[in-house]
Structure 1
Amino acid sequence: MRWLGAVSVALLLLAGCGRSDDADDATPTTTTGATATTAPSSTAATTVSTTTGPPPPSAPSTTAATDDGAALPATAQDWMAELVRAWGAGDREGAATLATPDTVAELFAHADPGGPDWALQGCDGAAGSTVCTFTDAGERLLLSQPSVAEGDRLAPVGQATFTEGDGPASETYLGEEASRLVRAWGAGDREVAAVLAPELTVATLFDRYDPGGGRWDLRDCLRLEDDPQCLFYDPVRDERLILHFDRVARAAGEAAIAAPEFRTGASG
């Protein structure tokens, strides 16, 4: 009996130890599971991703456009002088920012490059346009720019005309300038005519005929001391047109064709 009792006590002690070991084993397992569920942190990664990125791409292009516009000349005289410099250097791209395609083509067809020796003689405003005269070795270049602005910049130069001769009193120069006026009048183009002659001269021509027609032929130009003049004749109307030049106005760079005179017959 004593032996059986001792065995029973021993078995009870072993059972108690087993339960204690099981409890001890369970505790670490529970702690390890808690650590595994709290370790990841997705919030921090999401914050970094949403707060970084490139700046908006549109701002730089606006600044470049503003800088380009501000670099353009502010006056008609400076604008046309810049055009002549660009043409003189053979810079077609620069000239294209200052003149119409037809004007650029006219300049570069005359010479490519234009050369560095063109000198500004003066500018004159008339009938919504500004005309500047440049000279180089017996040649003259007349550039015409509309006075109406296009937005925040001046309008492009719309016309380039070359004339030859020794100066404003030469027959070649007088004939070319007078012919330009007669062609404009013949086509009914008051705007171009107003660039080449004073208002009273233009009014006299258009009051006589509007348009003047295309049959007026240049017959002669005379370098008279006090009265340079050119003679045109219309064989259908049998009528002469004499255009007189104002030397003082011409020397000042102003429209100088004045006092148109009509007479009947080819001579007399």
Structure 2
Amino acid sequence: MKTKERRKQIRNGWIPNLTFGIISLLMITGCNQAESNKNKIDTTDDGTEQEISETFQELGFFGEIKKEKWNDFVQAVQNNVSHSRQESGNLAFSLYQPADGKYEAFWFERFENKQAHNFHKEQDYFKNAISVIQQSLAREAKSIELKEVNEIPAREAVISQNPELTRNVIVLFDVKPDKRQSFINTMREVTLPSRNAIGNLEFNLYQYVNESNKFVLIESWKNADDHKAHLEQEYSKKMNKLLEDIFASNPMHTRWLVKDISVNK
């Protein structure tokens, strides 16, 4: 089965009280944009190998939004999200707000390849959103370009019908260089049971494009109870044990809870 067809079949139906200044500091070492992605080899049903371009992912930090511009900002970005999700090359597009209700925002977008993302940026709804965003930001937005981890291919997220109830978690990991493979092996071991857990909508690990020891985990659950149950499972406890002494910095300092405000409910 071709990769694109497989993805389409899967498709459905962060935040301690940190300042944006701290988040910006995290971005300095890891947000350089790559102009092109390397290609992968995929095998079709008849055994033929074909080259496919890597998916394009970007995690972004709008930071503080001017309070008087908040409603206009949200409306413009939600319009962009709605249209973007209908693009043939789009795999995911979400807008998040800190769970504590601060006037800050984050985005995550995922496309089948860089070309699909370039097409997205040519659309009028994207350009209109950018115009409103520029007027709404209290400071410059930051972003991290990401790529899939070869050993743990990303799975398309299920779009919740009740996003106001979802529990969304985003974690940045800075892994010690000599522990990189141990980290990937541990995450690979826990990914399948996490994805199969009751209420899981998304559990994907990505790597920074330009920094091989930095990663992002994006999780989404139907509700807080399902997420809590996941954390109490043996595979989660085992993961926590195996990940001891692997990180260059404490990931709990770069872990965020956010609410999904991608659509107007």
TM-score (norm 2): 0.23
More strand by share: 2
More helix by share: 1
Q: Which one has more relative contact order, counting CA pairs under 8 Å at least 6 apart?
A: 2
- Structure index of larger Rg: 1
